[in-house]
Amino acid sequence: MDAVLRQVEQLPALLAVSRSAQVRDWDCLTLDRALEWARYFQHLHHRFRARPQLREALGRRLRRSQPLPLLGFPALGRCPQLLGLALLENRALPPAACRCLLRGLLPPPGEGSGCDPRGLALLARRKAAARLLALVPGPEGQLQAEARLLLGRLREEGQEAAEAAGQLPWLRAALEQLPQPRACGVVAAALALLPQGCGTEQAGDTDRAAGSSQGGYQAGAAGDGCAAGLLLSWLLGDQERFSAFCLCLPSSQLAFLAGHYSQLSRSYLDLLTSWGSRLVYDPLQGRWVKSCLDKAELSWEELRERFICLCQGPALLREQTQAALELLRTRDGDFKVRGLSVWTDLLMEVGY
Amino acid sequence: MAQDPTVPKLNFEYWLDKAIEWGQATTLESQKDVCLHLSQLQEFLHQLYEAIKHLGPTVVIQQFPLIGQLLGRLCWNPFVIGYDESQKTLMWCLCCLYSSEPQNAVELKANSWVRSLLCHLLSSSKWESNEAETSAFISALGYTSADYYCHLVKNMVVSLVRELRENQFNGLNIQESISASRVNAVSIFCVPLITLPDLAPLLETLLLYHGGSSKEILSSEFLESVNEAFLKKKISLPESVVFSLWLRHLPSLEKATLHLLDQVLSIQLNSLEEVACVIKDSLLPQAASHPAIFRIINEIFKSALMETDGTSEVLTVIQVFTQLFLQDHQNENKQHKFPLKAYFPYHHQPLVRRLVRRPFELPTTYWSEHVKHISDMVKALVEDTNASSLTDLFEIWFLVACFGEWLDIAAEQLLKAAVEPDPVLWLLAFYYCPKNENQQRTQTVVEAQAVYSHLMMLFNCADLSLKDLEAAVHRVMGTEQCCNQQFTTHLLTNFLLFSPGGHKIAQECIYHITEITDTSKEVHNLLIRTAHRFNHSGEENQRTVKLLNELLQKLTLKV
């Protein structure tokens, strides 16, 4: 077992090398060895996935050997594809080794089994399918897919019972790969999926039902809580980021999320409050306008729409919003006439 | 390597022109055209691969200088990549262009180009800007593009299915309904993907989808392709979905019926149970619970009969089909079961009611009476001067032929029970010789009566020899009319099976007949049907059963 643990430590290094320029010295033999390792790691995954203690041990060892815990136990199962595709994309791989790689990835008919051992033909087919189905304009499937993978990964972490604190840097690093509006969209989609309980479906075990769903439902629920917690920490941890998040998402989606996550609703209301406080009344135009034409704030109309959406949410959210508005109105002097306090006007708009 | 002259001439220019014409398949016409050519293209790619797989990359380019253009363009056509196994073959072809030891700049460039294309197909490509961010994110999560696209496709399918289903119930609300052109477009985009398992829910939802309009909104390419895939057993669909497909697309139903006939006629089936199995698998008897489907299948059967001149195999298919249909129909507990009249609208209903009674529903003592009633009714219908057109005659004949079980029982009863022979003989004569313009049928009846009397005289003889039956055998061989031949063979075979003295000479006699005449198939068929009946109703006489099995074995080897 000790030997296995030491071997598993090599995985991150192997993947790192396969993405680096070091492969330019590889020949066919080295390549075959690397692919053998990948198959071996996959074999380990299959052997140990139904045995929680060994899983955990392997997962812990794997995590220890990386600066950022990108890879957990499930990554062992994906090793052949991870390695194969990384090498395919690595231009430093010399032609001779690359030829071996191609033969290994796409075995021609007659050699070995007729079916596709690495599922690469299926991948190409699915990629084409995604393009075809995208020809019909519709809701962004891409965002949903990314959100599901993110959740899958978070759940995997949750099942490994790793400390939450250690995961935040990793999450941050991953989300940094996306431009901010998109990252916000993905996190929003992920948070929206969680309350719907999208099951204990492991994102990594794509084609076959994972055997790892033992006690899956409970672990799933706990994992969901963890995942939500992490996502919210990421979101609320940076004021600028949170403000951008609230600006780029539609009000209905934000209201939905606020209805399900109380920390979110509090922060959201605080943010709306600060934006609302900066509006001034223009008596000549007879309406509330922004004090400075800073784009990173809401206009009166947008603010009103946000509050209306919030008041259409679940009862708790409605009450919370109403209470907040009333408090603000009182603080401002409890006017019942338009044009004096933005909160009075808002309350009138939402019908209270 | 020298050019191999035995390699078949590939239609390279044709496909290159097509690939250029299609581009990335962004217009409706190009999309439909691609869909029509998908399977031929796959075949061509396979042949191309076979032609180049043992050649080095430089030789390949010498022989097919434009191969790069062709493969490159096809790689950008999602219809081609999404279809069946085309993506595999295309990638193999690309690998053939990769050199492990590039000697010059051309080969280096080719290598780089091959890798870029493969990356485009399998992971992220430098040519598509929006993929770069996503792939970085996916990598950071520790996943591969395989995981991503698996989820992406599943999600897209789920959202399309939801959209279609929600719209079903809102069918009355015109403003919210999805436009017909949108659904049509979805059906075209699905054509290459029919055999992709992820798409199954979408296929089923589309096939069950009914928009507000009365015109068919699913594209015919889609409906045909789904039917093809189903008939070739490349996909499996729930029964209700298959029925929906056949109800909305007549050519698919026709193809399915013809496919069934081909199947049954092309293999040597040794028992009626095997025939029944194949027919049941086709789902046609179950689908026939819809009267429209039942009637169309019967029309196709009628054409098949006329084309093959009433061969006994087709008749057997029709008879087994009808039996299975009846079984299914009677077992159903649906409240809205259609009445029999819906399936046989133009026929005399009392006759229909008698014919659909399964023999095992009646005690065997009533069988002769039942047959007599059937015979009398058919006779009355046929001899009615108002209904004497050839078409009407054919319709009545076809109806009776569908329920061939009763005819077989009638022939058996002639020899086993004390029955009034004339009505039975008339009915069988009608079956074998329906037309009577030149009194053929009347003559057949007379002939049959003669044969029957002769056989009955010999019935209780213990010691029979072939010579005793010579007169009857001569009738079989000598007549010009084949209908008489078949009728006599039927009577003779039954005699051999059921008379005590016939057993000894049965093999010899049947061998003799089938040697001289062309009736071995008919005899084989008759024996199979009799065996099936014995299995279900139980024949008490063990010697008869044994004889039957022996005869079948011998004949099976011969046929």
Give CA–CA dist B210/B216, Å, rounded.
Answer: 9
Nearest-neighbour CA in chain B from A28: distance (Å)? 10
Residue A181 near chain B (CB below 8 Å): no
DSSP B556: H
Instruction: Give the rounded distance of the alpha carbon of B140 from its chain centre.
Output: 52
Residues in a beta bridge with A282: A287
Element (H, E) at A280: strand A279-282
Per the listing, tokens 């098949």 go with B304
HSE-up (13 A, CA, CB side) for residue A135: 25
Q: Average model confidence (pLDDT) for chain B? A: 86
* Sole residue written with tokens 């708009």: A349
Alpha-carbon span A68 to A2, nearest angstrom:
23
Point out the residue among A71, A103, A133 whose CB comes nearest to the CB of B142: A71
Mutation site for A-interface testing, chosen from B32, B141, B164 by largest number of A Cβ within 10 Å = B141
Q: Do A135 and B185 count as a contact with CB atoms less than 8 A apart?
A: yes
Q: What is the pLDDT of residue B280?
A: 94
Q: Do A128 and B91 touch (CB under 8 A)?
A: no
Conformational region of residue A286, where left means phi above 0, alpha means psi within -120 to 50, and beta covers everything else: left
User: What's the mean pLDDT in B280-308?
Assistant: 93
Q: What's this model's pTM, rounded to 2 decimal places?
A: 0.85
Residue B164 has pLDDT above 80, yes or no: yes
Partners of A129 on chain B (C-beta within 8 Å) are 78, 82, 149, 153, 193, 196, 198-199
Contacts of A131 in chain B (CB under 8 A): 78, 82
- CB of A126 within 8 Å of a chain B CB? The answer is yes
A115 touches chain B (CB under 8 A): no
b (16+ CB within 10 A) / e for A290-308: eeeeeeebbebeebbbbbb
Contacts (Cβ under 8 Å, ≥6 apart) of A21? A92
The pLDDT of residue B386 is 63
Res. B487 pLDDT band, cuts 50 70 90: confident
Q: Give B-chain residues touching A67 at CB under 8 angstroms.
A: none
The CA distance from A130 to B82, in Å, is: 9
> What is the gyration radius of the CA atoms in chain A, in angstroms?
26
Q: Which of A119, A152, A174 sits opposite B146 (nearest CB)?
A: A119
Residue B104 has pLDDT above 60, yes or no: yes
- For chain B, percent of residues with pLDDT exceeding 70: 91
Residues B195-201: contacts with CB under 8 Å, at least 24 apart: B195/B84, B195/B229, B195/B234, B195/B235, B196/A125, B196/A126, B196/A129, B196/B82, B196/B153, B198/A126, B198/A129, B198/B150, B198/B153, B198/B154, B198/B157, B199/A129, B199/B153, B199/B157, B200/B235, B201/B157, B201/B158, B201/B161
Name every residue whose Cβ is closer than 8 Å to that of residue A157 and which is 6 or more positions away in sequence: A69, A72, A167, A226
- pLDDT, mean of residues B236-246: 95
Closest CA of chain A from B505, distance in Å: 56
Q: Please give the pLDDT value at position B538.
A: 66
Residues in chain A closer than 8 A to B146 (CB atoms) = 78, 81, 85, 119-120, 122-123, 206
The Cα of A22 is separated from the nearest Cα of chain B by a number of Å equal to 19
A343 near A332, Cβ under 8 Å?
A: yes
Residues B201-227: what's their mean pLDDT? 90
The residue of B148, B191, B193, B205 whose CB has the most chain A CBs within 10 angstroms, and thus the best one to mutate to test that interface, is: B148
List of residues 6+ apart from A127 with CB closer than 8 A: B81, B121, B122, B145, B149
Interface test with A, best of B38, B147, B219 (most A CBs within 10 A): B147
Could you identify the residue written with the tokens 């799933």? A220
Distance CA A334, CA A337 (A): 9
Q: Note which residues in 264-303 of chain A have CB less than 8 A from chain B.
A: none
Q: Do B153 and A119 touch (CB under 8 A)?
A: no
- B384 Cβ contact list (under 8 Å, min separation 6): none
**Cα separation, B199 vs B153, whole angstroms:** 8
* Chain B residues near residue A102 by CB distance under 8 angstroms: 95, 98, 118
Strand-pair partners of A279: A290
Distance separating alpha carbons of residues B457 and B501, to the nearest angstrom: 12
Contact A78 B95 (CB under 8 A): no
CB contact under 8 A, A127 and B149: yes
Question: Which residues, including other chains, have CB under 8 Å from residue A236's CB and lie 6 or more apart?
Answer: A242, A263, A264, A267
Task: Count Cβ neighbours within 10 Å for each residue of B36-50 and write b for 16 or more, e otherwise.
Answer: ebbeebbebbbebbe
What DSSP string runs through A164-200?
A: HHHHHHHHHHHHTTS-HHHHHHHHHHHHHHGGG--TT
Q: Pick the closest to residue A155 from B165, B236, B150, B142 (CA basis).
A: B142
From the list A134, A141, A204, the residue facing B147 with the nearest CB is A204
Q: Rounded CA gap, B71 and B117, in Å?
A: 9
- The encoded tokens of residue A159 equal 């099942």
Distant-in-sequence, close-in-space partners of B426: CB < 8 Å, separation ≥ 6 = B375, B379, B445
**CB-based contact A132 B136, cutoff 8 Å:** no
Q: What is the pLDDT of residue B244?
A: 94
| Alpha-carbon distance B526 to nearest alpha carbon in chain A (angstroms) | 44
Higher-scoring residue by pLDDT: B382, B130: B382
Residues of chain A contacting B143 with CB distance shorter than 8 Å: 78, 149, 152-153, 203-204
C-alpha distance from B75 to closest chain A C-alpha (Å)? 10
Q: Which residue of B has its CA nearest to A206?
A: B147
Best residue in B144, B183, B203, B222 for a mutation probing chain A (most A CBs within 10 Å): B144
> How confident is the model at residue B392, as a pLDDT?
84
Give pLDDT, residue A110.
Answer: 66
Q: Is the dihedral of CA B329, B334, B340, B342 positive or negative?
A: negative
Contacts of A75 in chain B (CB under 8 A): 142
Span B473-490, average pLDDT: 72
- Specify the 3-state DSSP secondary structure of B128: coil
- Longest alpha-carbon distance in chain A: 84
Highest mean pLDDT range out of A324-338, B84-98, B466-480?
B84-98
The partner residue sitting opposite B148, judged by closest CB among A121, A136, A149, is A149
Query: Which of A208-212, B192-196, B447-451, B503-507 has the lowest average pLDDT?
Result: A208-212
Min Cα–Cα distance to chain B from A5, Å: 20
Nearest CB among A116, A132, A186 relative to B79 is that of A132
> Does the pLDDT value for residue B477 go beyond 80?
no
Helices of type H across A249-341: 251-260, 262-277, 300-311, 315-331
* Interchain CB distance below 8 Å, A135 and B152: no
Give the Cα separation of B284 and B281 in Å (integer): 8
* Three-state DSSP state, B319: helix
Residue A221 corresponds to which tokens in the numbers above?
A: 């629920």
Beta bridge partners of A280: A289
Scan residues 16-75 of A and list those with Cβ closer than 8 Å to B. Answer: 70-72, 74-75
Q: Across the interface, do B192 and A132 touch by the CB < 8 Å criterion?
A: yes
Residue A212 DSSP one-character state: T
Q: What's the pLDDT at A69?
A: 66
Instruction: Report which of B513, B486, B442 is spatially closest to residue B315, judged by C-alpha positions.
Output: B486
Query: CA torsion sign, B344 to B345 to B348 to B350?
Result: positive
A149 to B147: CB separation less than 8 angstroms, yes or no: yes
CB A322 within 8 A of CB A311: yes
Q: Is A279 helix (H, G, I), strand (E, B) or coil?
A: strand
Put simply, the answer to whether A127 touches B100 (Cβ < 8 Å) is no
- Per-residue model confidence as pLDDT tens for chain A (352 residues): 888 888 888 888 898 899 899 999 999 999 999 999 999 999 999 998 888 888 888 888 888 887 776 788 888 888 898 899 999 989 999 999 999 999 888 888 765 554 556 678 899 999 999 999 988 877 777 888 889 889 888 887 766 655 555 667 778 888 988 888 889 999 999 999 888 765 444 444 433 333 333 334 444 566 677 788 888 988 988 888 999 999 889 999 999 999 999 889 999 999 999 888 888 888 888 888 888 776 677 888 888 999 999 988 889 999 999 999 999 989 988 888 888 888 888 888 887 6
pLDDT at B8 over 60: no
B2 has a pLDDT exceeding 50: no
**Between chain A and chain B, how many beta carbons pairs sit less than 8 Å apart?**
198
What is the pLDDT confidence band of residue B454, given thresholds at 50, 70 and 90? confident
Host H or E run for residue B153: helix B145-169
Cα–Cα distance between A19 and A71 in angstroms, integer? 15
Q: Which residues of A touch B101 (CB under 8 A)?
A: 95-96
Q: State the average pLDDT over residues B516-528.
A: 82
